[in-house]
Amino acid sequence: MAYQALYRVWRPQRFDDMIGQEVITRTLKNAITTNQISHAYLFAGPRGTGKTSAAKIFAKAINCHHQTDGEPCNECETCRAITDGTLNDVIEIDAASNNGVEEIRDIRDKVKYAPTVADYKVYIIDEVHMLSTGAFNALLKTLEEPPANVIFILATTEPHKIPATIISRTQRFDFKRIAASDSYDRMIYILKQKDVTYDDQAVKVIAKAAEGGMRDALSILDQALSFGDNEITLDNALLVTGSVTHELLATYVQQVLAGDTKAALATLQSVLEAGKDAERFTEDVIGYARDLLLYQQAPQLVEEAEMGSVSDDFKALAEKTPAQTMYAMINELNAIQQQMRFTTHPDVYLEILTIKLAEIGRQPGTPVATLAAATPNAAAASTPTPAATEGQETPAVAELQHEIDQLRSAVKHLEQAPAPTKAAAPAKPRVNKSAPAKEVNLAKIYPVLGSATREKLNQLQEAWPDLLNSLSVTQRAVMKVSQPVAAADSGVIVAFDYSFLYQRATTDNELTDALENGLDRMIGAALPVVFVPKDEWPVIRKNYLTAHKAELQNNAEGEPEEPATPAANPVVTKAEELFGKEIVDVKKD
Whether 371 shows a pLDDT value over 50: the answer reads no
pLDDT tens digits for range 188-221? 999 998 888 888 888 988 888 888 889 888 998 9
Rounded to whole angstroms, the Cα distance separating 169 from 155 reads 14
Cβ contact 402:362 at 8 Å: no
**Which residues contact residue 280 at a Cβ distance below 8 angstroms, ignoring those fewer than 6 apart?**
241, 242, 243
DSSP code string of 195-240: T-EE-HHHHHHHHHHTTT-HHHHHHHHHHHHHHTTSEE-HHHHHHH
pLDDT tens digits for range 31-74? 999 989 999 999 999 888 999 999 999 999 999 998 888 899 98
**Which residues contact residue 497 at a Cβ distance below 8 angstroms, ignoring those fewer than 6 apart?**
481, 482, 534
pLDDT tens digits for range 303-326? 777 766 677 778 888 888 888 888
For 396, phi then psi, to 5°, come to -65, -40
Instruction: Express as a percent the part of the chain with pLDDT over 70.
Output: 79
pTM above 0.95, yes or no: no
**Which residues contact residue 475 at a Cβ distance below 8 angstroms, ignoring those fewer than 6 apart?**
508, 510, 511, 514
Instruction: Express as a percent the part of the chain with pLDDT over 90.
Output: 15
- Closest-CA residue to 479 (of 523, 437, 512): 512
Same CATH fold assignment for domains 6-174 and 246-399: no
The CATH fold of domain 246-399: Zinc Finger, Delta Prime; domain 3 (1.20.272)
Mean predicted confidence (pLDDT) in 91-119: 86
* C-alpha of 485 from chain center: 29
Mean of all residue pLDDT scores within the chain? 79
Q: Is 549 exposed, middle or buried (0-12, 13-18, 19+ CB in 10 A)?
A: middle
* Architecture of the domain defined by 6-174: 3-Layer(aba) Sandwich (3.40)
DSSP β-ladder status, 40-44 and 90-94: unpaired
Q: How confident is the model at residue 376 (pLDDT cuts 50, 70, 90)?
A: very low
Residue type, 4: Q
Q: Is 567 helix (H, G, I), strand (E, B) or coil?
A: coil
CA dihedral for 209, 212, 216, 218, sign (positive or negative): positive
Q: How confident is the model at residue 8 (pLDDT cuts 50, 70, 90)?
A: confident
CATH number of the 442-547 domain:
3.30.300.180
Class (C level, CATH) for 180-241: mainly alpha
Cβ contact 419:441 at 8 Å: no
DSSP code string of 80-129: HHHHHT--TTEEEEETTTS-SHHHHHHHHHHTTSPPSSSSSEEEEEETGG
Q: How confident is the model at residue 26 (pLDDT cuts 50, 70, 90)?
A: very high
pLDDT tens digits for range 467-499? 888 888 778 878 888 888 888 888 889 988 887
Rounded to whole angstroms, the Cα distance separating 244 from 121 reads 49
Q: Tell me, what's the pLDDT at 550? A: 59
Task: List the chain domain ranges.
Answer: 6-174, 180-241, 246-399, 442-547
Q: Tell me, what's the pLDDT at 434? A: 39
pLDDT tens digits for range 381-399? 444 444 344 444 455 556 6
Q: Tell me, what's the pLDDT at 171? A: 92
Rounded to whole angstroms, the Cα distance separating 124 from 118 reads 15
Q: How confident is the model at residue 570 (pLDDT cuts 50, 70, 90)?
A: low
Q: Tell me, what's the pLDDT at 401? A: 67
Q: How far is CA 40 from CA 55, 112, 138, 139, 147, in A?
A: 11, 16, 15, 12, 12
